[in-house]
Amino acid sequence: DFLGAYQAAAAGERHGLDPDLLHSVIRAESAGNPRAVSPKGAAGLMQLMPETARGLNVADVFDAAQNVDGGARYLRHLLALYNNDMTLALAAYNAGPEKVAAYRGLPPYRETRDYVSRVLRDFHRKKTSTSQRQ
């Protein structure tokens, strides 16, 4: 998972995002596999859908640097859209902003709720272990 952590650190610095958050998304999305492809067609470390990748000008979703940079830009956009509400931004990352809008909050999908919980749990675990080391 070194590749994901390395790309998360670089993209986090570039886009003003916590690298631990990006790394937690990568772990939940692809388990650090840059060649991962979901049954729905999402691909790469941050599992970008083809239309999302195109919109972010990610030419090669399997290029770890491009994928994580695009995913970081998308997550930054979602955080801005939802006033830095990580739960809603992560729900939109997983299910799409249109689903968050339709349900006026966290969609009632088990997959989305489990995803948000998994990412936040991993992120908070990283933050707790970092603060205990300081």
What amino acid positions are annotated as catalytic residues?
29
b/e string for 49-75 if b means 16 or more Cβ within 10 A? Answer: beebbeebebeebebbbbbbbbbbbbb
Between the alpha carbon of residue 66 and those of residues 2, 8, 20, the distances in Å are: 16, 11, 18
